[in-house]
Amino acid sequence: MRRSLVYSLLVAVVAGDASELVGTWSSKSNQVFTGPGFYDPIDELLIEPALPGISYSFTEDGWFEEATYQVSGNPRDPTCPKASLIFQHGTYELLDNGTLILNPIEVDGRQLFSDPCSDNGISTYTRYNQTETFKSWEMGVDPYHGIYRLQLYQFDGSPLPPLYLAYKPPMMLPTETLNPTDSSNAKATASSDDTSKNVNLKKRSVREHVRRSLENRYKTNAVKQTNSVLNSNFFWYVSAALVGTGSIIFLTT
Ligand SMILES: *[C@@H]1O[C@H](CO)[C@@H](O)[C@H](O)[C@H]1NC(C)=O
Ligand SMILES: *[C@@H]1O[C@H](CO)[C@@H](O)[C@H](O)[C@H]1NC(C)=O
């Protein structure tokens, strides 16, 4: 009886209500966040985080932003990992059956890919435009970390790594097309000497008035979530209930 109460508190999962998605979510490394710290659209700069990870942000009014930093090891040569940084943003749709569709702004997505042992030190910087469909998702309180957790399931049903709430309101770039002028030629290269730090792609500079208007909107109202639930009475209550459950399990086994 008591056990099932605890269970339902921890797995109080809501799917289908967009307001549950609102915020900036980050995978366990807690190093990758959407927003101006990952992608600078004015200088065309993707900024490499300290550790790999993924981050998604959602607004109440239907916008999303995505930042991923993935490194895949080369088992035969650990000094040759491939790395990819991806930025996308756009709008999302939440279907009645719980399916979540992310529709990126085509001209704004960017990917920086480096394969240091076969690209002669030249990372590839390209546009990136990939619609993403998540079959379903769940939001609830993580029983170990005591913070809000978002679980996204890919189209084939396989889960993404769990994401934890990092900022609410979310930390995001302006929710509008960032590169309205440039239509095609978005290819550039960068020396991989630069990839350990910030990768400056030395692209054409965007017009000054765009810069100014964007700068004004970098001022964000994002609020960092530090174990928000841990500090609340709710978590104390769940802990107390868990201790109770633990005792019950202990006594009956
Ligand atoms: C972006 O992706 C969408 C959906 O896959 C596709 O219809 C569109 O043509 C793509 N645009 C570009 C510029 O690649
Ligand atoms: C929800 O509906 C969409 C569109 O009809 C479909 O593609 C998707 O597979 C459905 N999702 C689930 C979980 O049934």
CA of 104 from ligand 1 middle (Å) equals 9
Instruction: Specify the pLDDT at position 225.
Output: 81
Average pLDDT over residues 54-65: 97
Q: Report whether residue 31 contacts ligand 2, using a CB cutoff of 6 Å.
A: no
Reported pTM: 0.73
Average pLDDT over residues 92-117: 94
- In tens, the pLDDT along 153-211 reads 999 999 999 999 999 999 999 999 998 755 444 444 443 333 333 333 334 333 444 45
CA of 21 from ligand 1 middle (Å) equals 25
Average pLDDT over residues 122-127: 89
- Provide the pairing of β-strand 23-26 with 53-58: antiparallel
Which of the listed ranges 87-101, 199-213, 231-245 does the model predict with the highest average pLDDT? 87-101
Q: Report whether residue 213 contacts ligand 1, using a CB cutoff of 6 Å.
A: no
User: In ligand 2, which atom is closest to the CA atom of 97?
Assistant: 1
* pLDDT of residue 217 exceeding 80: no
User: In a mutational test of the pocket of ligand 2, which residue from 93, 99, 135 has the highest number of ligand atoms less than 8 Å from its CB?
Assistant: 99
User: In ligand 2, which atom is closest to the CA atom of 136?
Assistant: 13
